[in-house]
Amino acid sequence: MDRLEEIKSAAEKLPAISEDAISKLCQSLPRLVQLVNEKFLIDDKFCCGKPLDKHMKIVKNIHKNFGDALLAVYQFSLYDVLIHEFAWIVSTLFYRDFEKDYFPKMLNAWIMAIHGTIEPSRSRELIQPLRFLERNLSVILENWDISAKLENENQEEFMNLLLEKRRRDATDYTISLLDSGYSPDDLCHGILIPAMKQIGLLWQKNQITVSDEHAATEITRYIIYRLCDSIPRKQALPHRVLVSCVPGEEHELGAEMVASYLESQGWTVYFTGHSAPDEDIVVVISRYMPEVILLTSTLISNLPSTVELSKRIRQTEPASKIILGGRAVVRAKRRMQEFADALIVDYREAHLTAIRLL
């Protein structure tokens, strides 16, 4: 076990935060983010060190995202996930020329903001995981680098076509692989998903832009539609499923893959896409009465909305079966199981899991 994994294991033993303290954090979060940003602006103006002028937009975005993730981590006692999320921040910012001294300053700013805003009996609870990060920061800073390679030339070729924004060529390439003997599942799981994961990694390493990543996502989405159109649909099943990202979730490619796969298996699929308000999702459920509801969450910060929506569906449509999936759900699976009838790791599990529940 490497040092980072050791820290994650140790973090799991941290005590749970009380509901009252979590409530105080939730109420104070916008103010806390503001205070943390203000401290960095003051430090940047009056203290020595590398100026953050050109990075302040990134800094503010990181602070907000960290606060949202912190709330989810506290709510579900996912302290091992907190280590992973902070290591991701370290990696992302190091590749954008941030100095090492930014990270202890960031943690200290959060601790000071919590102490100054929330009553002592609750602030002492809330800062303990941050103190744990402080104590283990040197290990995180030594193990921040990320590296991963694609497994074969087909994945490389497809990724390069995406990065060059050649939609027609990328589509023709996948169709040629389909004609050469690849199954649609082989293409999705063996080519499209690895290439998109590598593109996400390239963004994290500051080697491509956000627009590059978004263009690759749109091209991949188009290709998924083309692949699904080329697959003879299996005999229609007498079952209905709603597939949706949870409220606030912008990463919808995984949900689209699930929806397309279930359609190919004969399901009647209702797809609400990304960032739909929970009210709209509940209305669609009430209108079409799906037997299965599949919700996806990619970001840890969206786990609270995942749980709230699951609870609401349980109250309004108790007969419907709930399946949860997505990167955040997988990372938090030990806590998410109580809020769903089943969890899935990838889209290929959706059909059999849903059938098993009916």
User: For the chain, which domains are there?
Assistant: 3-142 (1.10.490), 153-230 (1.10.1240.10), 240-357 (3.40.50.280)
Mean pLDDT for the stretch of residues 259-278: 90
Q: Is the pLDDT of residue 13 over 90?
A: yes
CA distances from 331 to 84, 85, 124, 211, 296 (A): 10, 11, 27, 27, 13
Q: Across all residues in the chain, what is the average pLDDT?
A: 91
Is the CB of residue 235 less than 8 Å from the CB of residue 266? yes
Is the CB of residue 357 less than 8 Å from the CB of residue 323? yes
According to the model, what pLDDT value does residue 53 have? 61
What would the pLDDT profile of 165-202 be if each residue is shown by its tens digit? 999 999 999 999 999 999 888 899 899 999 999 999 99
Identify the band that residue 4 occupies on the pLDDT scale cut at 50, 70 and 90.
confident
- How far, in Å, CA of 257 to CA of 246, rounded? 15
Q: Is the pLDDT of residue 99 over 90?
A: no
Identify the band that residue 145 occupies on the pLDDT scale cut at 50, 70 and 90.
confident
E strand intervals along the chain: 240-245, 268-273, 292-296, 321-325, 342-343
- Which among 140, 142, 177 is positioned nearest to 157, based on CA atoms? 177
What would the pLDDT profile of 63-95 be if each residue is shown by its tens digit? 999 999 999 999 999 999 999 999 999 999 989
According to the model, what pLDDT value does residue 149 have? 84
Tell which phi-psi region holds residue 340, choosing left (phi > 0), alpha (psi between -120 and 50) or beta: beta
Q: Is the pLDDT of residue 269 over 90?
A: yes
- Which among 299, 293, 351 is positioned nearest to 327, based on CA atoms? 299
Q: Look up the pTM and report it.
A: 0.90
The total number of residues written for the chain in this structure: 358
Q: Which residues partner with 160 through β-bridges?
A: none
Q: Is the pLDDT of residue 48 over 60?
A: no
Q: Is the pLDDT of residue 146 over 80?
A: no
